[in-house]
A = this chain, B = another copy of it.
């Protein structure tokens, strides 16, 4: 593409600031120019043109881009160049991208896991959770995951190698459910959801347990977050509850790639993606994350290579 050429550029825009659950109708499709401000997100892109010495036409990169067909990147330091293309490019939005690093640092750095420990993961079939569970199995832990449909529970047990899994929507007493799967208690909780599940987990943690607070999706769209009542167990059980954000750990990305690529190539770690086609599918796909419609990492294909 010649430098400066103007192209028709479909974009997804937010109409307005959103309180509570976003709706599909809060977003509009528009054919505009890149001077507009599309939603930002993490994606895989192909370089069409570049003045930057580190990036040349035809390179593949992953990192922050717009929800649009073409993006002008003015902060190339936020991009990672893709050097390994023997794996699906979409993996760089998931297992080899931000969710992968999140699972890696959240489990190995924040949870301080030891062989034989009891590990519980919520939103366990999601982009991050499915990897945490596989990492924990590799370390010799007992791993249980929760998810919101039978299909996801089956996936966890039959494809992702979890020891057990349960559908939290079918449990009216989360405390009782956890006691059923963890009669000895929980050493590590990888928390993607917060709220009531966190409260129930606190009742079931073991002494010196660790909780990695990775996300609290159950709380994102509430006007007022739910109260967590059982924090006193942090004291009596000497529990560490630690929030983390993956951006603080991106310097570990090369080490992470070295760790995970062999597992992927040998088929010892698998990754489940939920792929929809076309930028037009983006808004509905995003809504699906809040209702749990996606099975595995949600990927939107804007263009095939």
Contacts and interface: CB of A to CB of B under 8 A. Distances in A.
Interface string A202-228: 000000000001111001000011111
Contact of A244 (B194, B213, B238): B238
Copies in the complex: 2
Interface stretch (A21-29, A67-75, A133-141, A229-237): A229-237
A241 interface: yes
Contact of A242 (B224, B225, B234): B234
A233 B244 CA distance: 10
B231 A213 contact: yes
A230 B238 CA distance: 21
B229 A227 contact: yes
Contacts of A58: none
A81 interface: no
Closest 8 CB pairs of A and B: A227-B227, A234-B243, A235-B243, A240-B242, A241-B241, A225-B229, A213-B234, A216-B232
27 contacts: A213-B235, A216-B232, A216-B235, A224-B229, A225-B229, A225-B231, A225-B232, A226-B229, A227-B228, A227-B229, A228-B228, A228-B231, A233-B243, A234-B241, A234-B242, A235-B243, A235-B244, A236-B245, A237-B243, A238-B242, A238-B243, A238-B244, A238-B245, A239-B242, A239-B243, A240-B241, A242-B242
